[in-house]
Amino acid sequence: MRAVIELVNVRKVYRIGGEEVYAVNGVSMSVRKGEFLCIMGASGSGKTTLLSLMGCLDRPTSGKVLIDGIDTSSLSDRELTDIRRDKIGFVFQQYHLIPTLTAFENVELPMLLKGVPKAERERRAMELLEIMGIAKAANRKPSELSGGMQQRVAIARALANDPEILLCDEPTGNLDTKSGEVVMNLIEEQNERGVTVVLVTHDPDIAKYAERVVRIRDGKIVEDPGIKLG
Amino acid sequence: MYFQLAFRNLRRNGVRSALAVIGIVIGVMAVASIGIFSANLKTSFLSSFQNVTDEVLVYPAYNAHFRHGLVTTSGVMYIDKRTAERIVRLPYVKDYAFVKDTFTTARHREEVFGVTVYGMDESAVKKLFKAEKGILRLSDSCVVGYDLADRLDLRVGSRVEINGHKLRVSAILKETGARFDVNPNNAVLVSLRDYDRIFNTKNEGYNFIVVWVKSLKDVSLFKDAVEKTVNAREKKVEVFELKIIIDQINKGFSFVSRFLMAIAGISLLVAGVSILNIMLMSTLERTKEIGVMMAIGAYRTTILKLFLLEALILGIIGSVIGAVLSLAGGYAVDMMILHSAKYLLSLTTLGYMLEGMFFGLLTTLISGFYPAWKASRLEPLEALRYE
């Protein structure tokens, strides 16, 4: 299987009060197409930073991030935006829906940014909301939706441009167990459809959904069944 | 949908947006109202000089010099008849009027008063003026100005005595505005023949000649022709173009108008600062949202455009309302100062309304640009994590 995400000796350094902090310190790993990968670690372990690097939200201090075989270090801001828009879908712990837009419009937004025609946009948005089981809430604003529903809208939005990769940062972190289960089942369904899923969590119950769990501590991989560690 | 997004963002902070709009409304209204008023003031002022642009005045080249405490004069007091004939036979002349004038005392019943007496042809009088009462006729009679008639209670048929000669008033003229050629309001107009008889000036020339050229471009051609012929050997006459005087008045007015509008523009500046302020606050409050937009595929330019669109919406709403209200503002100032709003509904007014709108939009776009640019320069990850 080919790798959709490949990290080669990736480092991310933050300067905090003149001191250099390695959020990610020499990580090399690859994510195969169609895989359901979970990155586990305590808070501050660098797992979210790692996800941001995979999602082209941030550039590594050193090392390489390849998405679909494309070396992202040489790409411009605009080209990175294109990759985020077309190849990657984000699901955040805080849902991050646009509060002024309805559920339906939130799902439409990535397609609008891509320039998808209105009719196609509307058809796809409705379809996704139906898949997520929240078609009835299409015209409600995020503030009128429960956390679980908001996260389902967020997943629908992440899938709008039919991305290859779904990056989820603690998607159930703010949800009760039941809503969390619904959300995880929806993500699993997408993985079964062929979407590569990378999920960051510290919750072992959530990690059970994944076929491969990578553990990270202090910015370094401490366990990865995909490769043999020294 | 971008428009909806921008519009809803503005609605989210409705009061703040409304205040920004009010700022623009006031600014646009001030600029446009002042512009409209200045234009109306000018129109009202110039209306008394209508149709004089093809008129040229020819005066004798008479100069007074002050030297060693003495006044010396040079040149001639009159345009002699031969020179006058030469001037009016120049090719560019369409029509003309020879004029003699003097200031003297006259008598009506027992009252003696100072008055300007003009001697000119009956046809010239008819060309220049209209009668309020009576019929314009100058043979053995005279025509009097509106103010003079009013002051002395002159009527058609009254008798005025000038220099021992009694003349019957044939007509009273309509009131006119200030003129450069003949000012009849406080004057008695008589025929040239009567003038010479009264003042014994048969052998003297004319005090000035009013010349109407065939078209506007002939004004300077006529002037050149006079310099080359009549003034060739010796400077006998001076030529005054009324067009130049009007142009000067126009220039002066537009200068004053620009100056006043610039002062009114300060209020627009203040409105711009308030837009800058609310947009900056909005950028700050929506940092996270901007991060989300960028994460799901919005270009920096898209963010820039979205924020500019918000500024533009504020600008359009404010400018349109301001422009409409400026009509009311212009009306109010017109009524207050000119006591009339008859020049309000004109193309110039529309022009100033559009100009006010233009500056209103320009202000919002300029002050919206920095916050929009700042929003577009955010780093997606940092924006997402912003608390």
Is A47 within a domain? yes
Is A14 within a domain? no
- Are B380 and A109 inside 8 Å of each other by CB? no
- What domain count does chain A have? 1
pLDDT digits 0-9 by tens, B118-156: 999 988 888 888 888 888 888 888 999 998 898 888 889
Nearest to A49 by CA among B385, B319, B356, B95: B385
Query: Which residues in B lie closer than 8 A to residue A99 (C-beta atoms)?
Result: 12, 289
**Which B residues in the span 291-350 are in contact with A, Cβ-Cβ below 8 Å?**
291-300, 302
* Domain with A196 in it: 35-61+76-223
User: Which of B296, B301, B305, B379 is the mutation pick for testing A, counting most A CBs within 10 A?
Assistant: B296
CA B224/CA B247 separation, integer angstroms: 20
Nearest to B266 by CA among B74, B105, B31: B31
Nearest CA in chain A to B384: A96
pLDDT digits 0-9 by tens, B68-114: 767 666 666 788 888 888 888 988 898 899 999 999 989 888 888 88
Spell out the residues 6+ positions from residue A183 whose beta carbon is closer than 8 angstroms to its own.
Answer: A148, A151, A152, A155, A171, A172, A175
Q: Among residues of chain A, what percentage have pLDDT more than 70?
A: 98
pLDDT digits 0-9 by tens, A121-147: 999 999 999 999 999 999 999 999 999
> Once rounded to an integer, what is the mean pLDDT over residues B325-346?
85
H or E element in which residue A207 lies: helix A204-207
- Are A78 and B299 inside 8 Å of each other by CB? yes
Is A12 within a domain? no
Determine how β-strand A62-67 pairs with β-strand A36-40: unpaired
Is A171 within a domain? yes
Task: Classify the complex by whether its ipTM is higher than 0.90, answering yes or no.
Answer: yes
Is A66 within a domain? no
Is A215 within a domain? yes
CATH of the domain at A119: 3.40.50.300
Q: Among residues of chain B, what percentage have pLDDT more than 90?
A: 32
pLDDT digits 0-9 by tens, B22-64: 999 999 999 999 888 888 888 887 776 656 667 888 888 876 6
The pLDDT of residue A228 is above 50: no
Q: What is the pLDDT of residue B74?
A: 64
pLDDT digits 0-9 by tens, A169-205: 999 999 999 999 999 999 999 999 999 999 999 899 9
Q: Cα torsion for A184, A186, A191, A192, to the nearest 10°?
A: 120
How far apart are the CA of B363 and the nearest CA of chain A, in angstroms? 27
Q: What is the pLDDT of residue B344?
A: 81
The whole-model pTM stands at 0.73
B297 phi-psi bin (left φ>0, alpha ψ -120 to 50, beta other): left
> How many contacts, defined by CB atoms under 8 Å, are there between A and B?
67
Q: Taking the domains of chain B in order of start, what are their residue ranges? A: 2-47+247-385, 55-214
- Are B5 and A99 inside 8 Å of each other by CB? no
pLDDT digits 0-9 by tens, B264-294: 888 889 889 988 998 999 899 999 999 999 9
